[in-house]
Amino acid sequence: MYGLVVGVASLSALTDIYGHGTPCNKDLFYSTLSGTHFNLADCVDRAEHARKRKVLSTAYALKNLESWEHKITDKVAMMIKQFDRRCTNPLKPGERPCPADLTVDYRAWTNFFTMDAIADIGLSEHLGFIVAGSDDIVGEKLNGDTYTTSYRECLHATLDAQSHLIWAYDWYKPLSKLSAMLSSQYSRWFKLAGNWDGVVYHRATKRLVRYQKGEKLDDFFQALMEDKNGKPNNLPWGEIVAEMSVMLNAGSASTAIAINNTMYLLLKHPSALATLRAELSTVLTDHDEVVAYDQVKHLPYLRACLDESMRILPPTTFGLPRRTPAEGHSINGDYIAGDTSVSISAYVAHRDEAVFIDPECFIPERWLGEQGKELQQYFIAFSAGSRGCIGRNISYLEQVILLATMLHRYEFALPHPEWVPELREHFNLVPGPLPVKVWRRENYDA
């Protein structure tokens, strides 16, 4: 048997497939897509994964959040500078923004923000996307030649090509070659995928030079090179580059999607937005510009809005494939044969009516109080168990600071109340542009 997709949020199915102690492993999907070296996300072997996770958990640990907050807040300050320049006159009640006033594509800026943030957290590099308002970046070929490409374009092209071709694992490599020869679309995607590799390689080699010159920087790269006592980890260079690749990919794309979607959903639901602003006003003053994490990290409605947004539109929507052990495995009480690919999509599980009442409705309140805590076990936007997202805390840090700052300082309006975004799915559910009108809030004198 080959391929079982479970379409419910049953707790036992989630635990049987993804929970700590599951005998299911990451599926062949991951090893088929991996490069010369496994990274934390595509590594299948359990012992190897545990070794990697141990090295990286120091870097991703909660206690590091505080020391990295400045790497986020300085990006938020840059966002403010850019948005201030794009501010328009206040919208009169009942009016629609005129097209010329839609000065911000919020989607693009969320990308610039998360890409700048992860490059700083991971490599102490200042990409400068927010300042430039562009994601043009230099990549490097193995022969040392450099080129300029678009970070988003090459990242998404890689995911587009892979998500179309991966599903017959044995055929993936020949299909990739064939499609690149026969189709200009695939040929372009694979060329851009090569550009992505060169973007990562260039970042890693530049950072290595700084390391070799003796600079001790507080970032993931340093944590990969040495343990916290300064003892070298002696990891192969290919493994370091592979970790940089997954960090620059997973660390930017999904958080940008989440930040974008939360803004969109709040603009669509003015009463939820008003409740959130009321909560923010209990801790922020008119003089606060970039919000500090400490000021807002415990606000329950703010967190509820983020979780409700990631419930309704989980950034990663595809069913993350796991493989049953050779002897088979019981899932939700049913015996599933060995070597079967099994998965649950967060998009589907988060719509299980038995767990989430009115699943299509944006109701942040469902995450509040004891009942909200109870629901958390069904929330799988970051997956679960030992292969759950290691960057979750960093992502919340970015989301909380940016959203609170933006909503405290600005008003936003969609093109019109019925406006909906384009959505495109590869492994992530990728929203298209989010054009908004932006203006400073009244009585706000920061």
Residues making up the binding site for heme: 389
Instruction: Verify binding: residue 343, ligand HEM, rule CB under 6 A.
Output: no
Residue 59 makes contact with ligand HEM by CB under 6 A? no
Quick one: how far is CA 137 from the chain centroid?
A: 20
Shortest Å, Cβ 60 to ligand HEM: 7
Residues 408-435 as b/e (b if ≥16 CB within 10 A, e otherwise) read: bbbbbbbbeeeeebeeeebbbbbbeebb
9 contributes a contact to ligand HEM by CB under 6 A: no
Number of other residues whose CB lies within 10 A of the CB of residue 294? 10
Select 137 or 390, whichever has its Cβ closest to ligand HEM.
390
Query: For residues 117-176, which are near ligand HEM according to CB under 6 A?
Result: 118
Cβ pair 389, 326 in contact under 8 A: no
For 443, phi then psi, to 5°, come to 55, 25
Q: How far is the CB of 254 from ligand HEM (least distance, A)?
A: 4
Taking CB under 6 A as the rule, does residue 204 contact ligand HEM?
Answer: no
The single-letter code of the amino acid at 423 is L
Burial class (CB in 10 A: 0-12, 13-18, 19+), 400: buried
Stretch that binds ligand HEM, among 65-73, 180-188, 314-322, 365-373 (CB under 6 A): 314-322
Question: By C-beta, is 176 or 255 nearer to ligand HEM?
Answer: 255
- Which listed residue (387, 408, 426, 437) binds ligand HEM by CB under 6 A? 387
Instruction: Give the one residue of 97, 315, 319, 435 binding ligand HEM; rule: CB under 6 A.
Output: 315
Q: Within the chain, how many helices (H) and strands (E) appear?
A: 18, 13
CA neighbor of 263 nearest in space, from 368, 405, 132, 379: 405
Residue that has been written with the tokens 């005998």 in this structure: 23
Q: Tell me which residues in 220-259 interact with ligand HEM (CB under 6 A).
A: 246-247, 250-251, 254-255, 258
Q: What phi and psi values does residue 136 have, to the nearest 5 degrees? A: -65, 135
Q: Which of 14, 41, 291, 312 binds ligand HEM (CB under 6 A)?
A: 41
Question: By C-beta, is 320 or 403 nearer to ligand HEM?
Answer: 320
Measured CA to CA, the distance from residue 45 to residue 141 in angstroms comes to: 30
Return the SS3 of 140: strand
By C-beta, is 88 or 111 nearer to ligand HEM?
111
Binding map of ligand HEM across residues 391-410, x = CB under 6 A, - = no contact: x--xx---------------
Please state the closest distance from residue 390 (CB atom) to ligand HEM, in A: 5
Residues 273-312 as x/- pattern, contact with ligand HEM by CB under 6 A = ----------------------------------------
Phi and psi torsions of 433, nearest 5°: -55, 150
Output the residue with the shortest Cβ distance to ligand HEM.
391
Tokens of 140: 């490097």
Contacts of 170 (CB under 8 A, 6+ apart): none
* Of residues 167 and 419, the one with the C-beta less far from ligand HEM: 167
Q: Summarize as ranges the residues that interact with ligand HEM (CB under 6 A).
A: 40-41, 53, 118, 246-247, 250-251, 254-255, 258, 315-316, 320, 381-383, 387, 389-391, 394-395
